[in-house]
């Protein structure tokens, strides 16, 4: 710290962690490793950073936190793979294999073992190669592949001859003894068990001596040599106890206090000898005291149990009361919320009903109060336009309910955009006359779009009707179109009014179903908002876009896009929907006979009586392809209110 040498500070923390690891104080070791990691990361020393990560992973493995161990191992693996540090990779893979074996993840252990062996060979790590063969043999044995396990153990024995690794020699002989026990070849198992025992004795490692003695005891037991089995079991037990005692001492003290501990142990032994003499004289008195204590302790436990039980019952009762109170409060809140929703729904229903009635009332008043100053022909035209307006309202409601959860199907053809707009303007002419409005239509007659004529005409009708509602008397409505995308050939159509406009916080509600129920009124005009919802569905079905721009007191502009086409529109008479004598749909005498009673019913029913017409259509159940085509065409004519098409279909 005085020299401000952070690399050396990190190395010191790492060394302290190593000492704590040797003492078995893993918590302190982890603390100092974390300090070292922080220092090396700060100075950017990546080599030492990942070396410390490897050590931290090993500590977590010893502490039983395998997930954290693997996390640190894999971070180090990623770095050493990038830097081609094969020696470090060998050690890391060795630790990963050992961890996966310990947690019985044999498939993963096998995968990393197969990576480790060629890595050991390329790095010249002979000792690690021996251990890799031993671990691979253990994995194959766990997987039930005895032959493969034996082959790897033999490879390990061959590698040991070049390294003289005592621990590896013990490990492979011990593993072979286990393998031959599985195969019930006890003589072979005994031979390898003795070899492992010899290596353990030479190493002087208690853990390996205990395991070798245990497996020898097990083999002799299987061979019915119970004396030898007992002798080696005694060795195993004695060695195991020594390991436990050594481990306990290691956990209690550290290296600094070891010498002091030994001296104190001798002093305690001397003092204990003196106390033994005194203790013999006081046994009777201690017995009385002990018995009195036991009786008092038992009484205390009984008393404490009674108190605890009473408190537990009281807590349980309080908890039940609290739960009941909470449940009552929750139910009360839910009931309150439900009531609020019911009130809100009732208001919504009343408002919606009022608006639908209002929308239908205006056209009906128009029919009842057709100006007598008009000629009979003009009166018929005006009533027909009013009827179409009512039909359009009904179709909006039906189509939105129909296509809300499914894609609207369109029958696209190349049509003049100006002709569609003109037809829509003609259909709502009586509405503009009522308010003395001017519609400025500047759509060029040369623009041809690929669209469904009937659906797009209804889009124009809905947008123009909406503009008329919000445009003051003597106002002006503009209708424009321009090509916006020369590559994709999209045409942008806009309908602008000079009304009061829509505030920005209400724009997102414009195309929502019933979005205008609470919208700002224009005079006495109210609307369900379904017309604009239909427009959105129709334009999107044509793969176009629709949106609105508006400012308060500056009017509103609705725009949408359609795909234009390079085709030139040929002016020709409109085709009949159904030609009886055409090759595509040729009704024979039997089919005409089947349809005749239904056509009689259709002729008695006006086209605007949609429910009655659909009821008649449902009665037609003949399976003939031509009859089904005729039925489909009739459905389209009824849905669109196309009187001309309707009459042609009846004339068979």
607-642 pLDDT, tens per residue?
877 788 889 999 998 888 889 988 888 887 776 567
pTM above 0.95, yes or no: no
Residue 578: pLDDT band (50, 70, 90) is very low
421-468 pLDDT, tens digit per residue, is: 999 998 888 778 778 789 999 999 899 999 999 999 999 999 999 899
Alpha-carbon gap, residue 204 to 435, rounded angstroms: 111
CA distances from residue 560 to 340, 527, 548, 557 in whole angstroms, order as listed = 39, 21, 9, 10
When pLDDT is cut at 50, 70 and 90, the band that residue 38 belongs to is very high
Partnered with residue 416 across adjacent β-strands are 448
What are 554-571's pLDDT values in tens digits? 899 999 999 988 664 434
**Tokens 């124009």 belong to residue:** 460
pLDDT at 646 > cutoff 90:
no
- For the cut 60, the answer to whether the pLDDT of residue 67 exceeds it is yes
Q: 């389209």: which residue's tokens?
A: 636
Residue entry with tokens 């997987």: 143
CA distance 239 to 294: 38
Q: Where are the domains of the chain?
A: 166-252, 288-369, 376-563, 589-650
If pLDDT is split at 50, 70 and 90, which confidence band does 534 have? confident
On average, the pLDDT of the chain sits at: 81
The Cβ of residue 573 has, within 10 Å, a number of other Cβ atoms equal to 5
- In DSSP terms, which residues pair with 415 in a beta bridge? 449
User: Using only C-alpha atoms, what is the Rg of the chain?
Assistant: 47
Supply the CATH classification number for the domain 166-252.
1.25.40.10
Between 120 and 530, the more confident residue is 120
| pLDDT the model gives residue 519 | 40
Helices marked H in 492-541:
530-541
Instruction: Give whichever of 142-156, 216-230, 380-394, 582-596 has the largest mean pLDDT.
Output: 216-230
Q: On the CB side of 175, how many CA atoms lie within 13 Å of its CA?
A: 27
CA distances from 563 to 25, 91, 202, 482, 546 (A): 76, 66, 91, 11, 13
- 522 pLDDT higher than 90: no
For residue 547, pLDDT beyond 90: yes
The pLDDT tens digits of the residues spanning 199-208 come to 889 888 888 8
Which long-range contacts does 419-425 make (Cβ < 8 Å, 24+ apart)? 420/451, 420/453, 420/456, 420/457, 420/460, 421/460, 421/479, 423/457, 423/460, 424/457, 424/460, 424/461, 424/464, 425/460, 425/464, 425/479
Which of 1.10.3720.10, 3.30.450.40, 3.30.565.10, 3.40.50.300 is the CATH number of 376-563? 3.30.565.10
Concatenating the DSSP letter of every residue in 597-616 gives: HHHHHHHTS-TT-HHHHHHH
pLDDT in tens, 260-287: 434 554 666 677 777 777 878 888 888 8
């Amino acid at each position: 710290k005085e020299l401000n040498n952070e690399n050396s500070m990190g190395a010191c923390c790492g060394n302290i962690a190593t000492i704590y690891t040797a003492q078995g104080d893993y918590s302190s070791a982890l603390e100092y490793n974390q300090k070292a990691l922080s220092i090396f990361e700060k100075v950017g020393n990546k080599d030492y950073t990942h070396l410390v990560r490897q050590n931290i992973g090993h500590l977590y493995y010893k502490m039983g936190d395998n997930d954290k161990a693997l996390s640190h191992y894999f971070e180090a693996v990623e770095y050493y793979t990038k830097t081609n540090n094969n020696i470090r990779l060998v050690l890391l893979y060795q630790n990963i294999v050992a961890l996966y074996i310990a947690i019985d993840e044999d498939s993963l252990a096998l995968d990393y073992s197969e990576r480790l062996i060629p890595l050991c060979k390329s790095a010249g790590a002979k000792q690690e190669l021996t251990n890799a063969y031993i671990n691979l043999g253990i994995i194959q044995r766990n997987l039930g592949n005895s032959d493969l396990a034996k082959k790897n153990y033999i490879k390990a024995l061959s590698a040991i001859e070049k390294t003289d690794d005592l621990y590896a020699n013990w490990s492979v002989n011990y593993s072979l003894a286990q393998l031959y026990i599985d195969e019930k070849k006890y003589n072979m198992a005994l031979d390898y068990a003795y070899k492992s025992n010899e290596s353990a004795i030479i190493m002087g490692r208690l853990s390996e001596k205990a395991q070798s003695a245990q497996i020898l005891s097990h083999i002799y037991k299987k061979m019915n040599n119970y004396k030898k089995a007992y002798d080696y079991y005694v060795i195993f037990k004695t060695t195991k106890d020594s390991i436990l005692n050594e481990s306990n001492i290691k956990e209690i003290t550290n290296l600094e206090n070891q010498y002091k501990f030994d001296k104190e142990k001798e002093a305690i032994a001397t003092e204990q000898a003196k106390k033994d003499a005194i203790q013999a004289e006081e046994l009777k008195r201690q017995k009385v005291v002990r018995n009195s204590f036991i009786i008092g302790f038992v009484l205390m436990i009984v008393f404490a149990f009674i108190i605890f039980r009473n408190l537990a019952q009281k807590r349980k009762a309080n908890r039940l009361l609290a739960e009941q109170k909470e449940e009552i409060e929750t139910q009360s809140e839910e009931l309150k919320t439900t009531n609020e929703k019911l009130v809100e729904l009732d208001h919504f229903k009343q408002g919606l009903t009022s608006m639908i009635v209002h929308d239908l009332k205006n056209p009906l008043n128009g029919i009842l109060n057709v100006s007598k100053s008009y000629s009979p022909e003009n009166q018929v035209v005006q009533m027909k336009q009013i009827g179409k307006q009512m039909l359009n309202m009904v179709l909006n409601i039906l189509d939105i309910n129909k296509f809300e959860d499914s894609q609207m199907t369109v029958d696209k053809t190349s049509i003049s955009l100006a002709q569609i707009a003109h037809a829509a303007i003609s259909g709502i002419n009586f509405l503009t006359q009522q308010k003395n409005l001017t519609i400025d239509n500047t759509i060029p007659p040369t623009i041809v779009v690929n669209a469904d004529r009937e659906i797009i005409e209804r889009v124009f009708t809905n947008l123009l009707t909406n503009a008329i509602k919000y445009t003051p008397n003597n106002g002006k409505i503009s209708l424009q179109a321009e090509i916006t995308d020369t590559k994709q050939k999209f045409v942008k159509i806009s309908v602008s009014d000079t009304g009061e406009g829509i505030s920005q916080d209400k724009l997102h509600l414009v195309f929502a179903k019933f979005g205008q129920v609470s919208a700002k009124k224009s005079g006495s005009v109210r609307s369900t908002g379904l017309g604009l919802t239909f427009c959105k569905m129709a334009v999107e079905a044509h793969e176009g876009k629709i949106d609105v721009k508006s400012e308060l007191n500056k009017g509103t502009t609705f725009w949408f896009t359609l795909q234009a086409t390079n085709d030139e529109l040929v002016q020709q008479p409109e085709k009949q929907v159904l030609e009886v004598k055409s090759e595509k749909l040729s009704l024979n005498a039997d089919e005409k006979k089947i349809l005749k009673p239904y056509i009689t019913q259709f002729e008695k029913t006006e086209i605007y009586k949609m429910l009655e017409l659909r009821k008649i259509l449902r009665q037609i159940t003949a399976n003939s392809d031509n009859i089904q085509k005729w039925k489909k065409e009739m459905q389209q004519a009824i849905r669109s209110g196309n009187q001309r098409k309707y009459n042609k279909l009846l004339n068979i």
